[in-house]
Amino acid sequence: MSKRKLIVQKYGGTSVQSPERIKAVAQRIKSYVTDGFSVVVVVSAMGKTTDQLIDLADSISKSPSKREMDMLLSTGEQVTIALLAMALHEIEVDAISYTGSQIKVLTDGNFSDAKISKISTEKIERSIDDGKVVIVAGFQGIDEDENITTLGRGGSDTSAVALAAVLKSEECEIYTDVDGVYTADPRIVSEAKKLTTISYDEMLELARLGAGVLHSRSVEFAKKYGVRLHVKSSFSYEKGTILMSTEEMMEKFIVSGITAKNDEAKVTIRDIPDRPGISAKLFSDLGQSKIYVNMIVQSTGRDKLASISFTVKKNDVKKTLTICESLKNEFGASAIESKEDITILSAVGVGMLSSYGVAGKMFKILSDHQINIEMISTSEIGISCVIDSIYAELAAKILHKEFIGS
Amino acid sequence: MSKRKLIVQKYGGTSVQSPERIKAVAQRIKSYVTDGFSVVVVVSAMGKTTDQLIDLADSISKSPSKREMDMLLSTGEQVTIALLAMALHEIEVDAISYTGSQIKVLTDGNFSDAKISKISTEKIERSIDDGKVVIVAGFQGIDEDENITTLGRGGSDTSAVALAAVLKSEECEIYTDVDGVYTADPRIVSEAKKLTTISYDEMLELARLGAGVLHSRSVEFAKKYGVRLHVKSSFSYEKGTILMSTEEMMEKFIVSGITAKNDEAKVTIRDIPDRPGISAKLFSDLGQSKIYVNMIVQSTGRDKLASISFTVKKNDVKKTLTICESLKNEFGASAIESKEDITILSAVGVGMLSSYGVAGKMFKILSDHQINIEMISTSEIGISCVIDSIYAELAAKILHKEFIGS
């Protein structure tokens, strides 16, 4: 291996959406080469390419074979790696592109959602030693029988993190269309600040709350292999946000982010006898119908009758209600209700681990503003409240002001 | 291997240019499966895909690396194989797609114009035994280091012929947008007839004369391995034209085709001393500048002074004249002339091998119509005359009438 410092960079779809953007990415890579780095680059498909390929498949089959879908979609990244190599050659940077197959990104055979089991570093290291920038197609691998597989949502991020891990790169830069992780959505909370650092766990919590820039799988991978992820924008040269372990973090905010998630609805089943097996039956039926349940709250009321409330994606509400209705008699429930105008408001922060009273403070702030809390759930590093979505913006702003400041 | 009869089919770009066309191709394949065939299908990229990819590359680099160009272009066929597999699944035909890399189409490392050296049949035969239609990406292979290579012009035809050869298929069907090989261009000669059969050599001669439906490389390959090629249209269910060896042909026409080629120009160098080495120098200089020379005629005139006339592609005329001018003094030539309004009129037929007087008859027909012949060249199975292009249509019609009939 070369003695130069190795960096892995990943550029997402918007960062390579046009020939002009690809040329800009090439210039950025060149600046790293000039600064003495060996660079391994992972790229996604250009802009809307994947969507266009999905549309093509859709015009032929409503339920295409997953193997053939992976065969189809993997071409998107292959186009980008070739074009980026050409763009680098054009500015006199030696570079070579590789598909997932060529560098043997070995995965299981779970088409469309495969897991990486092994990556061969031989070809990459040889090319680095030859002084080349190595460009790798993200999102793709091969199974043991050399069938092409794809890694599912956030797959190119996972490819980049996995490469950084096997190549023992000190840092993995994830270039995207935002310039880092913010304390809140800047479109809602104008005082939102970019975080310099964030822990893997906080990032996972943010991803679960729909506010993550990265897909949770790549973050879990980075956490597992201790890869420092640096999320930054390919449209500027500013520093972004660095993901690291809680232990590494110099400064721990009690609350590092406020999120407001609007794509879920609340479903409540009222007055069911408090006996074992009811929740199990309900949530296993929902799971079998591939309905993702996020928050779950069960409360026991009078006469040993309980109510269960939970949140599901808004477009799963209809399916969910059908399932609940079919169980209503079996459960002896009195009513099934749903509400779509809700927001899941959350405060996330590793500091909560060692700090008391965050939940109490959050409830007080909300109640001081006459905002009713309909559901509460807590994790080690986060507190979520379901509120009426009419208060979403107001609540996010006041929580940000009180916990993070302006 | 399965006991069913094996057929290899190749579908070109226009045959798979849209989802609708791909579905039509799937239906055609299904009819062969129903008739008891095992089918191996080779496909090209959809319609204009390759051109679009070339444009993309061009917007990034005017002289892209050939390795990266092959990486880029090979995605076109990969898209088609996946979509065709989906279309077959949709009509309940079991099918599986393979890239050139997956079935190990081994080539030399000559990017953009690689030659196939070996194809592994293991995976294909296993899939055939499993009752699957096997869909293979044409035009592509890999070199010994697993770099993706492409086979150059007519590459998918070559892939299909090579597969038919290694799989010992009795016939290889080449589906295209014309329904066979004609005795002349039907747009010019309305009496032109579709040939039932044609020999490899005649087809090669036609390809050289710009009238071939197939690229000469695939025809040479088919000749070498004795693969029967059946050229037919994917837009109809009619029989096309079958290519076979001269020996196999039941009926040998003296002249099986009349062609008129309009894309070349004539260059003449006048009055050069008739001494050795002059032609060698001229044509090696042209060759080094990658100028393709087609017909060459040298005549010795008075005082031992010779003239050399030859034809080149019209868009190479300027480059050719520059080279000739630079040699003029060295050669002691009196003049260099060029003429672009020419047509190369040819009669092609294996029957000429055993028939006398074809040339004489051709010259007489032309002279009877006051058409001046500016250059003549003959091969074993063809005679070509350069005439003024103003007479091209007339000459093609009368030759067709006299040699082939209406």
In this structure, the strands spanning A257-261 and A228-233 are unpaired
| Contact at CB, B83 and A60, closer than 8 angstroms | yes
Per-position DSSP letters for B122-185, written without gaps between them:
HHHHHHHHTTPEEEEETTEEE-TT--EEE--TTHHHHHHHHHHHHTT-SEEEEEESS-S-BSS-
pLDDT tens, residue by residue, A34-89: 999 999 999 999 999 999 999 999 999 999 999 999 999 999 999 999 999 999 99
The shortest CB-CB distance from A85 to any of B59, B65, B147 is to B65
- In Å, how far is B101's CA from the nearest CA of chain A? 9
Mean pLDDT of A331-337: 91
pLDDT tens, residue by residue, A340-385: 999 999 999 887 766 777 888 899 999 999 999 999 888 878 899 9
Residue A333 in any domain: the answer is: no
User: Residues near A322 by Cβ (< 8 Å), separated by ≥ 6?
Assistant: none
| Contact at CB, B22 and A67, closer than 8 angstroms | no
Mean pLDDT of A384-395: 94
End-to-end CA distance of chain A: 47
**Contact call for residues A235 and A177 (beta carbons, < 8 A):** yes
Sheet holding B116-119, edge to edge: B116-119, B105-107, B140-142, B148-150
Dihedral angle sign, alpha carbons of residues B106, B107, B108, B111: negative
In whole numbers, what is the pLDDT of chain A averaged over residues?
92
Listed residue (B285, B344, B347, B345) closest to B319, CA to CA: B285
Q: Tell me, what's the pLDDT at B406? A: 65
Which residues are paired to B140 by β-bridges?
Answer: B150
Contact status of A25 with chain B (Cβ, < 8 Å) = no
pLDDT tens, residue by residue, A268-292: 999 888 777 888 889 999 988 889 8
Contact status of B68 with chain A (Cβ, < 8 Å) = yes
Q: Which residues from A are below 8 Å from B97, CB to CB?
A: 68, 71
Could you state, in chain order, the average pLDDT of each consecutive group of 10 residues for chain B (406 residues)? Answer: 82 96 98 96 96 96 97 98 98 98 96 94 97 98 97 92 94 92 90 92 86 85 93 92 86 85 93 82 90 85 81 94 92 92 92 77 92 87 92 94 86
Q: Which of A21, A58, A70, A72 to mutate to test the interface with B (most CBs of B within 10 A)?
A: A72
**Contact call for residues A231 and A243 (beta carbons, < 8 A):** yes
- In Å, how far from its chain's centre is CA A15? 17
The tokens of B58 are what? 């061009």
Q: Tell me, what's the pLDDT at A395? A: 95
* Number of domains present in the structure of chain A: 1
| Contact at CB, A60 and B81, closer than 8 angstroms | no
Residue B235 in any domain: the answer is: no
Domain containing residue A93: 5-177
Q: Tell me, what's the pLDDT at A5? A: 93
What is the C-alpha to C-alpha distance for residues A22 and A79, in angstroms, rounded to an integer?
11
Contact status of A99 with chain B (Cβ, < 8 Å) = yes
- In Å, how far is B128's CA from the nearest CA of chain A? 16
Backbone torsions φ then ψ of A142, nearest 5 degrees? -135, 150
**In sequence order, which ranges of A242-294 are alpha helices (DSSP H)?**
278-288
In this structure, the strands spanning B293-300 and B305-313 are antiparallel
Q: Which residues from A are below 8 Å from B71, CB to CB?
A: 78, 81-82, 85, 97, 99
CB-neighbour burial class of residue A36 (10 A; exposed 0-12, middle 13-18, buried 19+)? exposed
| Contact at CB, A90 and B53, closer than 8 angstroms | no
pLDDT tens, residue by residue, A134-191: 999 999 999 999 999 999 888 999 999 999 999 999 789 999 988 999 999 888 899 9
| Contact at CB, A82 and B59, closer than 8 angstroms | no
Binned at pLDDT 50, 70 and 90, residue A3 comes out as low
Residue B397 in any domain: the answer is: no
Residue A12 in any domain: the answer is: yes
pLDDT tens, residue by residue, A201-210: 999 988 888 7
* 3-state secondary structure (DSSP) of residue A199: strand
Q: Tell me, what's the pLDDT at A265? A: 96
Q: Tell me, what's the pLDDT at A43? A: 98
What is the C-alpha to C-alpha distance for residues B349 and B202, in angstroms, rounded to an integer?
6
Residue A57 in any domain: the answer is: yes
Listed residue (B102, B108, B94) closest to A148, CA to CA: B102
CA triple A191-A195-A199, angle to 5 deg = 140
Listed residue (B36, B147, B389) closest to A85, CA to CA: B147
Q: Which of A18, A23, A61 to mutate to test the interface with B (most CBs of B within 10 A)?
A: A61
Residue positions counted in chain B: 406
- In Å, how far is B38's CA from the nearest CA of chain A? 20
Residue B189 in any domain: the answer is: no
User: Residues near B227 by Cβ (< 8 Å), separated by ≥ 6?
Assistant: B161, B164, B165, B169, B171, B172, B221
- What CATH number corresponds to the domain at position A165? 3.40.1160.10
Q: Which residues from B are below 8 Å from A96, CB to CB?
A: 67
What is the C-alpha to C-alpha distance for residues A188 and A216, in angstroms, rounded to an integer?
23
Residue A212 in any domain: the answer is: no
The tokens of A90 are what? 């054009």
Residue A308 in any domain: the answer is: no
